[in-house]
Amino acid sequence: MLKLYHWEPNANSGKPMLALAEKGVAYESHYLDLLSFDQHQPEYLAVNPDGTIPALVHGDLVLTESTPIMEYVDEAFDGPPLKPTDPVERWRMRWWMRFFDAYFAPSMSMIGWAVFVGPVARQRDPEVLRAAIDRIPLESRKIAWRKALFNEFTPEELAESRRRVLFCTDVLEAHLAKHTWIAGKTFSLGDINGFNLGYALPLSQPDHCNDARTPHIMEWLRRIYERPATKATWALGRTPMVQRVAFLERGNTHLSAAAVQQSVLPGNSQGWKKP
């Protein structure tokens, strides 16, 4: 049986989840609560000693890195192909996946860790948090957690990440003004990758990403949100963070982005409760 270790359908975990759903491949879901540090517990370190998610287990094989996992899923299983056959489209899909992973995602991630992960996790006892940080195997993840938990992202780092996010949003809008999907005419892994990264852009960057300023991004996000695989995958989410995806429902244009965004911050009545 295929096993996927993942957190919410969001960022890296959501990529293989959505690719598997699009292919119609069944898998055993192993939900790890990232905010409770499940990914650093010995049972999971026995699967992936780096303590990062997602990880896909297929027979004896343990696969990590969300984008290559999606490519594996597409190639190893039956179901609708998620890579274009045309070489130019395939190149465009890969160009964009590299841009998403190497440039756009780290900036989005830093903001997400500063705005959501840090404030949520900081509600716990600092000594418990310090012990949790000590157990993190990868130095780069230790640093990210320390900065998030002790509010150590510098204003300059955050400003640079915000600048990059706005730059990437403009590049994406210009691209989608010319192409229906990331690769061109064909829905592909590039769209799955971009949706996981950007489904909440209109909420986190409401002045920059909205129907008036970035109509092509909004339409692209809504078209992906309407796919049955996306609906089924996001229904697996357990936190209000991913439930924000309903903002993309065409009938929900009256919702205020700021109010939806506020609702997931710690201390708000609906926000961040474990099921």
Ligand X SMILES: N[C@@H](CCC(=O)N[C@@H](CS)C(=O)NCC(=O)O)C(=O)O
The binding site for ligand X (CB under 6 A) comprises: 11-12, 34, 39, 51-54, 65-66, 136, 141, 144
Question: In this complex, which beta carbon is closest to ligand X, that of residue 8 or of residue 89?
Answer: 8
Q: Cβ of residue 203: shortest distance to ligand X, in angstroms?
A: 18
* Residue of 220, 223, 189 lying closest to 83 (CA atoms): 189
Cβ proximity to ligand X: between 69 and 224 the closer is 69
| 147, 113 Cβ separation under 8 angstroms | yes
CB of 90 to ligand X, least distance (A): 20
Query: Which amino acid is residue 199, in one-letter code?
Result: Y
Q: Which is nearer to ligand X, 11 or 241 (CB)?
A: 11
Cα dihedral 111, 114, 116, 121 sign: positive
CB of 134 to ligand X, least distance (A): 13
The count of C-alpha atoms lying within 13 angstroms of the C-alpha of 211, restricted to the half-sphere facing its C-beta, is 10
By beta-carbon proximity to ligand X, the closer residue of 169 and 196 is: 196
Residue closer to ligand X (CB basis): 184 or 272: 272
Shortest distance in whole angstroms from residue 34 CB to ligand X:
6
Provide, rounded to whole angstroms, the least separation between the CB of residue 144 and ligand X: 6
Please report, in angstroms and rounded to a whole number, the separation of the first and last CA atoms in the chain.
27
Amino acid sitting at position 36: S
Handedness of CA 32, 36, 39, 41 (dihedral sign): negative
CB 48 to ligand X: min, Å: 9
Question: Which has the closest alpha carbon to 20: 223, 233, 183, 182?
Answer: 233
* Torsion angles phi and psi, residue 11, rounded to 5: 45, -130
Residue 65 or 71: the one with the smaller Cβ distance to ligand X is 65
What's the chain's Rg over C-alpha atoms? 18
Considering only CA atoms, which of 239, 227, 167 is closest in space to residue 192? 227
Least Cβ distance, residue 39 to ligand X (angstroms): 5
CA 255 to chain centre: 22
Closest CB to ligand X among residues 214, 239: 239
